[in-house]
Amino acid sequence: MSDHSTQGQHTNGYQANDGGHATGSAILHLQDVFFRYPEREIFAGLTLTLAPGVSLVQGDAGKTTLLRLMAADLRAQAGRFRINGIALDEQPALYRQQLFWMDPQSTAFDQMTPNDYFKAARAQYPAFDDALTRALVEPFSLTPHQDKPLFMLSSGSKRKVWITAAFASGAALTLLDEPFAALDQASICVVRALLANAATDLARATVIAHYESPPGVTLSKTIDLDA
Instruction: Report the range of poorest mean pLDDT among 12-21, 100-109, 144-153, 201-210.
Output: 12-21
pLDDT above 50: residue 91: yes
Q: Cβ distance 203 to 52 under 8 Å?
A: yes
Write the pLDDT tens digit of every residue in 122-142: 999 999 999 999 999 999 999
Alpha-carbon dihedral angle through residues 146, 151, 155, 158, given to the nearest 10 degrees: 40
Q: What is the pTM for the complete model shown?
A: 0.90
CATH class (in words) of the domain with range 7-217: alpha beta
- The pLDDT value recorded for residue 25 is 85
CA distances from 84 to 17, 50, 54, 134, 192 (A): 21, 10, 16, 29, 26
What is the per-residue pLDDT for 17? 77
pLDDT at 50: 98
- pLDDT value of position 13: 56
Looking only at the bridges linking them, the beta strands covering 99-101 and 173-177 are: parallel
Calculate what percentage of the chain has a pLDDT beyond 90.
Answer: 89
Query: Where exactly are the structural domains of the chain?
Result: 7-217
* Alpha helices (H) along the chain: 63-70, 92-97, 114-124, 130-137, 155-168, 185-198
The pLDDT score that the predictor gives to residue 22 is 38
